[in-house]
Amino acid sequence: MIKITANDPHRKSWLDVADDSDFPIQNLPFGVFLTADDIVTIGTRIGDYAIDLAALHQLGYFEGINLTDDIFLQDTLNDFISSGRKTWRAVRNRLAEIFDENNSELRDNQEHRKNILFNIDQVEMQLPVQIGDYTDFYSSKEHATNVGTMFRGKENALMPNWLHIPVGYHGRSSSIIPSGINIRRPNGQTIPDGSDTPVFGPSKQVDFELEMAFITTDGNALGEPIPVNEAEDYIFGLVLFNDWSARDIQRWEYVPLGPFLAKNFASTISPWIVTLDALQSFKVESPKMEKPVFPYLQSTGKKSYDIHLEVYLQPENAEAQKICSSNFKYMYWNMSQQLAHHTINGCNVNSGDMMGSGTISGPTPDSYGSMLELTWRGQNPLKMNDGSERKFINDNDSVIMKGYCKKDGIRIGFGECKSKLLPALDLKF
């Protein structure tokens, strides 16, 4: 495997990058955007510049790297992801060279720059991959314990399987949308407290779930598991993920087959996929397994990532207010264990599949990754700066998630995952 040279912390770009930017030259994420001329292209980002990789390729900047002519002239990253980790690495390394402050090749070529560089405000970010399959895990012990305590009491908070398997379910990919697209409060069936007859109407308990999601490449043939300590070779990168949830719909429908319409009405992701390669220096030990696990789940070395996460709630015409600070490193089961478990029965994964972490709650009440936990099922409403209170998400509230790693002066971030909750459709029957 070739070396990662793109992460050199001393490198500076000839493009302007603000000190607190999520996108220094060491990040080089991948995304898909629409230019002002209505052209869809695969790109990367440095500072507030969107960089057109198809144009760079056409102008010969990737010479020597084995890429098909149209690899970046696509509206999804799936084919590029399929080309494998070696290629992703070579392209990131080359990008770092092209935009290095000491490299004049593109820096001093105004004609090329005009074709390659866009202001981030002038492009429209798209969904970066066509997500074939989407799986959501339930891998934060704090979250599972909080929810279990609320619904089953402290003694039975964790289900007997929880410390043995990374619990997950298959979700739906059609309603996964990029940051910036607004969603609607779902209508559905709910069961009033103490009643045995359901009612129909807008959900009264729309919630966010603070998650991260990883995007896979084609891994294994059907029937063949991915070994836990090779799993990272099959992970392209990570995005922020808001797994919108309607708690009241969930409560009525989830037995016996799990969440259905409570979860599949919308999920929002941040549009730039930050590669695992870019996150190498932020790896940390995973929490200690509290019970022995089967060998296929025994990951060795650092397989967790220190990514600081924040959630902001923004009422209509008001300032966004921070309501949660958590960290991806709190996850009890890491991504390698999740992918090993997902494939141990021979289930195959494809390029562009997405796996959600599950709600990422930390040990303290201000680190809980959902309104359900932050307000303890509505018992302790959040106080907003404008004097209003929130038990769950109100109509026209926006939920904004942010995430970044920081170490030795380098900050690698994910940008924003933002969506506004519009009122429910008034359905007439």
What's the min distance (Å) between Cβ of 399 and Mn ion? 14
State both tokens at 65: 């790297």
Give the shortest CB-211-to-Mn ion separation in angstroms.
Answer: 6
Q: Provide the terminal-to-terminal Cα distance of the chain, rounded to the nearest Å.
A: 61
What's the DSSP call for residue 394? P
| Residue in the shown chain whose Cβ atom is closest to Mn ion | 243
Whether 143 is catalytic: yes
For Mn ion, give the closer residue by CB, 138 or 282.
138
Three-state secondary structure call for residue 155:
helix
Within a 10 A sphere around the Cβ of 265, how many other Cβ atoms? Answer: 20
CA pair distance 179, 32, nearest whole angstrom: 13
Work out how close the CB of 192 gets to Mn ion at its nearest, in angstroms, rounded to a whole number.
Answer: 25
Residue nearer to Mn ion on the CB measure, 55 or 167:
167
Shortest distance, position 284 Cβ to Mn ion, whole Å: 23
Tokens linked to 45: 């980002």
Q: Are 398 and 377 in contact (CB under 8 A)?
A: no
Residue whose token pair is 């924040």: 310
Indicate the residue among 138 and 414 with the shorter CB distance to Mn ion.
138
C-alpha dihedral sign at 73, 76, 82, 84? positive
Cβ-based nearer residue to Mn ion, 203 or 275: 203
Token pair listed for 231: 């799993």
- Token pair of 199 as six digits: 């009612």
Nearer to Mn ion, 135 or 343 (CB): 135
Q: 């009612």: which residue's tokens?
A: 199
Q: Between 136 and 253, whose beta carbon lies closer to Mn ion?
A: 136
Does residue 35 sit in helix, strand or coil?
coil
User: For strand 354-356 and strand 134-137, is the pairing parallel, antiparallel, or unpaired?
Assistant: parallel
Interface positions with Mn ion (CB under 5 A): 136, 209, 243
In the complex, minimum distance from the CB of residue 117 to Mn ion, in angstroms, rounded to a whole number: 37
DSSP conformation letters of 96-156:
HHHTBTT-HHHHT-HHHHHHHEEEGGGSEE--SS--S-EEEE---HHHHHHHHHHHH-GGG
> Considering beta carbons, is residue 209 or 397 the nearer one to Mn ion?
209
- Distant-in-sequence, close-in-space partners of 64: CB < 8 Å, separation ≥ 6: none
Peptide bond into 256 cis (omega under 30): yes
- In the block, tokens 């790693």 appear at 405
Name the active-site residue from 10, 57, 112, 143.
143
67 residue type, one letter: L
CB of 12 to Mn ion, least distance (A): 39
In the complex, what is the shortest distance from the CB of residue 241 to Mn ion, in angstroms, rounded to a whole number?
8
Q: Do residues 11 and 4 make contact, with C-beta atoms less than 8 angstroms apart?
A: no
Active site residues: 143
